[in-house]
Amino acid sequence: MILREIIAYLEKIAPPSLQETYDNSGLLVGNREMEITRALICLDSIPEVIDEALEKGANLVIAHHPIVFNGLKRFNGSTHVEQAVIKAIKNDIAIYAIHTNLDNVLQNGVNQKIAEKLGLTDTRILEPKIGILRKLSVFCPDSHAEQVRMALFKAGAGKVGNYDACSFNLQGDGSFRALEGAKPYVGEIGKIHWEPEIRMEVVFPDYLQNAILRAMFRTHPYEEVAYDIVKLENSWSAVGSGLIGDLPEEMSPQEFLEHIKVRMNIPMIRYTDSIHKKLKKVALCGGSGSFLLQRAISQDAQVFLSSDFKYHQFFESEKKIMIADVGHYEGEYFTIELLGHLLTENFPTFAVIFYGNNTNPLKYYC
């Protein structure tokens, strides 16, 4: 299988433009045209992982965390980052990272996987992203409106929450005069023409813009298509940080801690007291999610499950919400399972293996 095909599939699930500004998701090492024999999935593509890929005949490592975040200036193997990159390049092993873009999608995302482990229902993004949506208005002759509309829907326009095929259509008359050299679909050169047209409006996420414009130009009959695109300030419920949902049944704080421990196989949980005797509404964020604490409080979550809280941040719960810090590695471990499942479902004959050893740099002494 060609690496390009695997990347195209992964980026359909988690478009790279959805990654945070500090992130470095994408193809870090390798060439898109490489023939891939087998993929090894892990959380961190540290040198030991590259060794195992070599040993198991995998020439693609798919990691959740990018091994390279900032620019590298030297390649002498003095850090684990340089060692991993050098080893991968020397052995023709590609490294692909799918990080905050996978965190930020609701469907098939990291947080949805954690919610699934905990059995949460009625899940939604905790802090939806603003500034991703665009609106396209296009003026189309009546005769081709249906064709253009369907092509726009097929390219991904018109999806709003649990609805698709959303559009607004307004009838009117468009005017134009074709000048010398024009090849008008209707009307005559040199004469002002009036044509019954439909103004069609659809919303879409910015990363689909090229595909949507291609679909519009392909199906619209005019030589010069009249259209405009505006950036919307609306938030988009399909993309953003963290997730919130309900437990299948109310639990005491103690029962919830036990629930996390068992369902997520967590060895140790750091937590704050709860003022609630029974918990139902859970906010969560895989990885370092402390920045979402106030948002979780404002959304009436009774408990916030995440990791990497600092001592003083635990006080910021102000006793309004219980914090459960499960550890960064432990909270995101299921990303390996998630990616493995997605890949084998879409490429049933492609060999995918999981990195079996623990890459958590943090050990617990109890």
Which residues make up the interface to Zn ion (CB under 5 A)? Answer: 287, 332
Q: Which is nearer to Zn ion, 163 or 364 (CB)?
A: 364
Minimum CB distance to Zn ion, residue 126 (Å): 16
- Give the separation between CA 276 and CA 166, rounded to whole angstroms: 41
Q: Which is nearer to Zn ion, 104 or 302 (CB)?
A: 104
Q: Which is nearer to Zn ion, 231 or 310 (CB)?
A: 310
- Give the separation between CA 63 and CA 31, rounded to whole angstroms: 16
Q: Which is nearer to Zn ion, 47 or 287 (CB)?
A: 287
- Give the separation between CA 191 and CA 180, rounded to whole angstroms: 11
Minimum CB distance to Zn ion, residue 270 (Å): 17
Distances (CA, A) of 25 to 68, 98, 101, 151: 9, 5, 8, 30
CA dihedral sign, ordered 361, 46, 110, 346: negative
Q: How do 192-205 and 168-177 pair as beta strands?
A: antiparallel
Q: Which is nearer to Zn ion, 195 or 330 (CB)?
A: 330
Minimum CB distance to Zn ion, residue 41 (Å): 14
Minimum CB distance to Zn ion, residue 287 (Å): 3
Minimum CB distance to Zn ion, residue 361 (Å): 12
Residue that is written with structure tokens 């490429």 in the block: 347
Distances (CA, A) of 197 to 143, 150, 233: 9, 16, 28
Minimum CB distance to Zn ion, residue 205 (Å): 24
- Give the separation between CA 34 and CA 1, rounded to whole angstroms: 8
Q: Which is nearer to Zn ion, 253 or 286 (CB)?
A: 286
What is the three-class DSSP state of 84?
helix
Element (H, E) at 118: helix 110-118
| 217: Cα separation from own chain's centroid | 28
Q: What number of residues does the chain have?
A: 366
- Give the separation between CA 97 and CA 45, rounded to whole angstroms: 9
- Give the separation between CA 225 and CA 139, rounded to whole angstroms: 7
Q: Which is nearer to Zn ion, 205 or 287 (CB)?
A: 287
Minimum CB distance to Zn ion, residue 233 (Å): 29
Q: Which is nearer to Zn ion, 128 or 287 (CB)?
A: 287
Minimum CB distance to Zn ion, residue 304 (Å): 16
Distances (CA, A) of 214 to 35, 166, 211, 217, 222: 29, 19, 5, 5, 14
Minimum CB distance to Zn ion, residue 254 (Å): 28
Q: Which is nearer to Zn ion, 20 or 224 (CB)?
A: 20
- Give the separation between CA 359 and CA 45, rounded to whole angstroms: 9
Which residue's CB comes closest to Zn ion? Answer: 287
| 261 bridge partner residues | none
